[in-house]
Amino acid sequence: MQKILFIDPEKCSGCRICESVCSLHHEKVCNPGRARIHIVKWETAGLYVPMVCQQCETPLCETVCPMHAIKRDDKTDAMLIDYDLCVGCKLCVMFCPFGGVNLDSRTGKVAKCDLCGGEPLCVKFCDPQSLQYLNATAINLRKRRAAAEKFSDLMKKLLAIA
């Protein structure tokens, strides 16, 4: 069953541990700018949104890549960059609507989330569980249940006063 890196911004506390561990794991240094995930913040509103490659079903990065260097991984369904083929034209960076592909200024290479081969580290470290790695069907069910619970609370209140 396909798993998806699911983001729930409401739970994000803005601690940036995900950026730190992503870069530490992939690049062996701590540098949020070289992480494949980034927390976009609206400080005053207290809104923190993790942004990362969405591993699209019809990936624009794959479509525009002239070298066909971005390919689906069999195990995780993640879109992976084949660095033997990549020439660094950066079309993928330009075309991704989510900013999902980084240009690493240190290496000159592009980089993106590869789901850490099926055990995404950002998810492991995310205590508030703003980032989760879930089966595709589970996500929709969770959201439905969360919304239904609001109805349930309301029903309880109505019944209490009826």
Partner 1 sequence: MSLLQDQISHFVAPSGPAQNPWFSEQQLMRTMVWKRRIAYIDLTTGKIVTNSIPKRVRQLYLGGRGIDMYLLYNHVKPKVDPLSPENILFVGTGLLCGIPALGSGRCDIAAKSPLIGAVGDSNIGGFFGPELRLAGFDHLVISGKAEKPAYLWISDGSIEIRDADHLWGKDTFETQEMIRDDNKDEEVKCLAIGVAGENLVRFANVRSGMKNSAGRTGMGCVMGSKNLKAIAVRGTMDIEFSHPDELLDYCKEMNDMIMSTRWARAQSKWGTLIIYSNTNTTGLIRTRNFQLNRHEEGEDLEPENIDRYTIGMSGCYGCAVHCRHRYVLREGPHAPIFAEGPEYTSLGAFGTMVDCKKMETVLVANHLVNKYGLDTLETGGLIAWAMELYEKGIINEKDTAGLKLEWGNEEAIFDLITQIAHREGFGNLLADGFKNAIAKIGKGSDYYAIQVKGLSNLHSDERPTPSFALGIATSTRGADHLRSRPAIDLYGLPEDLLEEIYGAPVSSDYTSYQGKSRMVWWQELLYAVTDAIGVCKFQTVFCAVHAPNWEEFRRLIQLATGMGFLKAQLMEVGERICTIERMFNLREGFSRKDDALPERYFKEPTPIGFSVVRGKTIDRDRFEKMLDEYYALHGWNENGFPKKETLERLGIDREPSLMV
Q: CA-CA distance, 35 to 28, in Å (whole number)?
A: 11
Compute the least distance from the CB of residue 62 to partner 1, in Å.
Answer: 28
Q: CA-CA distance, 51 to 14, in Å (whole number)?
A: 12
- Asked if 51 interacts with partner 1 (CB under 8 A), we say no
- Asked if 45 interacts with partner 1 (CB under 8 A), we say yes
Q: Hey, which residues between 1 and 40 contact partner 1 (CB under 8 A)?
A: 10, 13-17, 20-21, 24-25, 27-34
Q: Which of 86, 106, 95, 127 is nearest to 23 (CA)?
A: 106
Q: CA-CA distance, 18 to 86, in Å (whole number)?
A: 26
Compute the least distance from the CB of residue 144 to partner 1, in Å.
Answer: 23
Compute the least distance from the CB of residue 23 to partner 1, in Å.
Answer: 8
Q: Which of 1, 46, 97, 156 binds partner 1 (CB under 8 A)?
A: 46
* Length of the chain, in residues: 162
- Asked if 103 interacts with partner 1 (CB under 8 A), we say no
Joined together, the tokens standing for residue 162 give: 């009826």
C-alpha pair distances (Å), 89 with each of 34, 50, 72, 93:
18, 26, 20, 9
Shorter beta-carbon distance to partner 1: residue 29 or 155: 29
Binding site for partner 1 (CB under 8 A): 10, 13-17, 20-21, 24-25, 27-34, 41, 43-46, 48, 105-106, 121, 124-125, 127-128
